[in-house]
Structure 1
């Protein structure tokens, strides 16, 4: 039987109130990534208390709230590009992205959307839009994607082991070559699992919604063969993610709802 040897400190600091601010100056400072020149990948997810990544409608929007929305906007304002799986973009109804109004932007260029897609299929609402997404895909997927979006929006980043699979590390490097170094991953759980397996995630922002949804929904990290709703099955080569040390940068609490918003540093 394991014996307990680790002391515990009861941390009850005086709370700092962060009222809604049109520019969210204080909140943005808490999520400041510094001035590093390399690629930095931040993932942002919402989860229920019992680990569900979506609600009864299979959408993450049914388990978030205003506190989560405030952080969501701050993270988008600080990003160069939002990275999502093509299935998640389709299922969640993504369209071309705009920078959040009233918040200081990371730069003067539009916020880009980049899809990870083995098949190369782009959701129709994005393919038909005025600002089509970037598509990270393998060789076979590139042929499909090039028929749906302009060729210069297709980034062929094939795995050395399988030319039809996506090399995520090469994909991040291709984004960086375009000046897109601050990457915000918004889903889905299968993509997050793959990024963690490749040790590509610098920090994980998790909103814990004060509700339980029971069995059924995936966790925010899911590499099961079934994949997440609206996503292709997870590649068989994704291993189980070993325990990854995480350091808490901050924990925010919305007293009116009980929502918790945490920023975990993985590097």
Structure 2
């Protein structure tokens, strides 16, 4: 990947002898995506991939839009996070399992005072999850399920029996504020939201998104796929580009950070 400072200029990092001078090292990539130090509240970072024409999925799943560069950033973002937050619909559509971190990444996390592997936290107001799904059977860390007080007690009990740490919020729905409060109570302040569009749209509408990492895959899709954020009400959140990366296959990776509130 190469660092892009403005749309038409690519500037390279200095590489060591015998390497591509434009290639970002793994360490440099981790530094680019490090969470800010000393944030006064949980920092909400979202990560999405879309096509050039804005499709968020192909055939109902986003994985088909992934590229090698996107996978590198995806792994770096997960390594940096305290928790990966996902909506129940995305968990079902993408057949989520637990987060996987390699040995070196685990060592870096533990050395910095983090757990070796971050948990997946699933938002499901009705606890509509399959206790036999990969989320519960293919994971090293127990998933967290954030549900509402209106969820079916039988479903809630089944998820707890499957090993989930179940948190029930007050009311029939789960607000973004309640979600973040639940995470902060567990000491999970570096939050990575991987979707879906409804959860991201809700967090955006509530003004809770601090950062968006967006990969544009070098393909056109067409069809009727949705966008990365959907919500009942529109909200304008001013952002600034923190950096732009490009890979040789045409993948473009941007990181946008919210401007300070007036």
Q: TM-score scaled to structure 2, two decimals?
A: 0.82
1:191-220 deviations in Å (ceiling 9; x for gaps): 110110111111000000111111311111
1:31 deviates by 1.0
Q: Does 1:52 align with 2:55?
A: yes
Counterpart contact for 1:142–1:156, Cα < 8 Å: no
Moved over 6 A (4+): none
Query: What is the 5 A alignment of 1:4-15?
Result: 12=9, 14-15=11-12
2:246 equivalent in structure 1? 253
1:156-205 deviations in Å (ceiling 9; x for gaps): 123xxxx1111221121111111111110001111110110111111000
Distance 2:226 2:63 in 1: 15
Distance change (3 Å), C-alpha of 1:15 and 1:133: same
Q: Does 1:146 align with 2:157?
A: yes
Distance change (3 Å), C-alpha of 1:152 and 1:74: closer
2:17 equivalent in structure 1? none
Distance change (3 Å), C-alpha of 1:152 and 1:62: closer
Distance 2:38 2:157 in 1: 33
Counterpart contact for 1:53–1:219, Cα < 8 Å: yes
Out of 251, 256, 260, the residue aligned to residue 264 of structure 1 is 256
1:157 equivalent in structure 2? 169
Query: What is the 5 A alignment of 1:90-109?
Result: 90-103=92-105, 104-105=108-109, 107-109=114-116
Out of 115, 119, 124, the residue aligned to residue 122 of structure 2 is 115
1:86-105 deviations in Å (ceiling 9; x for gaps): 11111101112222443332
Counterpart contact for 2:136–2:164, Cα < 8 Å: no
Q: Does 1:134 align with 2:138?
A: no
Distance 1:90 1:10 in 2: 37
Gaps of 5+ in 2: 1-5, 14-20
Alignment coverage as a number of residue pairs = 236
Distance 1:68 1:81 in 2: 19
Distance change (3 Å), C-alpha of 1:157 and 1:100: farther
Distance change (3 Å), C-alpha of 1:59 and 1:180: same
Distance 1:129 1:33 in 2: 27
Gaps of 5+ in 1: 1-8, 224-237
